[in-house]
């Protein structure tokens, strides 16, 4: 039975990845920060099948202890200060967790067991203001916020430990991936939750920013499959993971509200306070390498993703009414 260690196991990606690995008969270890404010909601259904270890990835002694105790075959680093706009409020903390934390894990792997395979969660936010469309593995990085900058550091330190130290270390450059487990601060979940609330008479308006902003949105459950695939290859490499298609916030609203029998134009209010900086070119993936080398393809399309998220919020809200 292989052993996998997941940082950020209580989050959207961590919980889906844990479920996938359990299905593949892994022993799953999850690191949880003892002072974290997140709940165990997403891993509650599998809590009896996993082992959690409380600690901080910026604590060298803790990392040495965990790696020596559990001897993982694979490590998936999903821990990050993960909401890009908020990284301006906590730029130092973002750097400590999202950038330096990666180095600490890699250095611990090198010292404890350099045969451990390591996955780093890189991000399309590293492209920032992209220099070409679509973006692939060779597109230059041009990050625009502390989160994207920290992710660039984490990405390149992973590449360099692979090239210089010979570790099996890969980065998955993941584009936006959503699910019913997405936080309410993200626009996709905000729309799904808002449509459900309005349908159930719990509110009458939904305030959003630029409805014409576009994103490459996929399903998180599909993307964790790509993470696992990256660590099963004979040789380590980096991959862009996305759908290669873009949809606007307006389209997301339209489908979400139509799904509950409403017209979004009657309820959505554009609020300039929610606008993000103007994007010269859209973030959209060229996932050709992942398709051709890994055999990975997304299974959930855009409409199914929106439907899944709205249905989940309708179900959640019906239980509290």
Residues assigned a catalytic role: 123, 125, 147
CA–CA gap between residue 149 and residue 299 (Å, rounded): 31
Tell me if 166 sits within 8 A of 236, measured CB to CB: no
Per-residue buried b or exposed e for 123-136, using 16+ beta carbons within 10 Å of the residue's own CB: bbbbbbebeeebbe
Tell me if 299 sits within 8 A of 219, measured CB to CB: yes
Tell me if 144 sits within 8 A of 278, measured CB to CB: no
CA distances from 14 to 46, 179, 220, 266 (A): 12, 12, 10, 37
Q: What dihedral do alpha carbons 182, 35, 150, 172 form, nearest 10°?
A: -50
Beta bridge partners of 215: 247
Number of C-beta neighbours around residue 116 at 10 A: 22
Which residue, 69, 70, 93, 73, is CA-closest to 83?
93
Contacts of 213 (CB under 8 A, 6+ apart): 248, 249, 276, 279
**Chain center to CA of 195:** 23
CA–CA gap between residue 155 and residue 102 (Å, rounded): 9
3-state SS, residue 3: strand
């Amino acid at each position: 039975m292989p052993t996998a260690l997941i940082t950020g196991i209580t989050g959207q990606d961590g919980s889906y990845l844990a479920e996938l690995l359990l299905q593949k008969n892994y022993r799953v270890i999850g690191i949880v920060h003892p002072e974290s404010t997140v709940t165990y909601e997403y891993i509650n259904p599998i809590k009896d099948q996993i082992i959690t270890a409380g600690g901080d990835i910026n604590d060298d002694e803790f990392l040495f202890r965990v790696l020596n105790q559990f001897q993982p075959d694979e490590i998936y680093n999903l821990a990050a200060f993960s909401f890009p706009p908020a990284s301006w409020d906590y730029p130092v903390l973002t750097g400590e967790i999202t950038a330096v934390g990666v180095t600490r894990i890699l250095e611990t792997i090198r010292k404890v067991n350099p045969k451990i395979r390591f996955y780093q969660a890189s991000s399309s936010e590293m492209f920032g203001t992209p220099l070409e469309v679509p973006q692939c593995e060779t597109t230059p990085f041009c990050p625009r916020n502390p989160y994207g900058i920290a992710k660039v550091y984490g990405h390149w330190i992973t590449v360099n430990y692979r090239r210089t130290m010979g570790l099996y270390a890969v980065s998955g450059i993941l584009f936006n991936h959503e699910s019913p487990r997405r936080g309410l601060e993200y626009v996709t979940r905000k729309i799904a939750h808002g449509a459900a609330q309005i349908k159930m008479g719990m509110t009458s308006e939904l305030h959003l920013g630029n409805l014409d902003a576009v994103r490459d949105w996929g399903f998180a459950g599909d993307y964790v499959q790509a993470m696992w695939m990256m660590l099963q290859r004979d040789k380590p490499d980096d991959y862009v993971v996305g759908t290669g298609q873009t949809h606007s916030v307006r389209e997301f609203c339209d489908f979400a509200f139509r799904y509950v029998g409403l017209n979004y134009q009657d309820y959505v209010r554009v609020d300039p306070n929610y606008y993000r900086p103007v994007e010269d070119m859209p973030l959209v993936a060229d996932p050709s390498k992942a398709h051709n080398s890994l055999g990975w393809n997304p299974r959930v399309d855009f409409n199914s993703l929106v439907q899944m998220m709205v249905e989940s919020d309708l179900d959640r809200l019906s239980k509290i009414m």
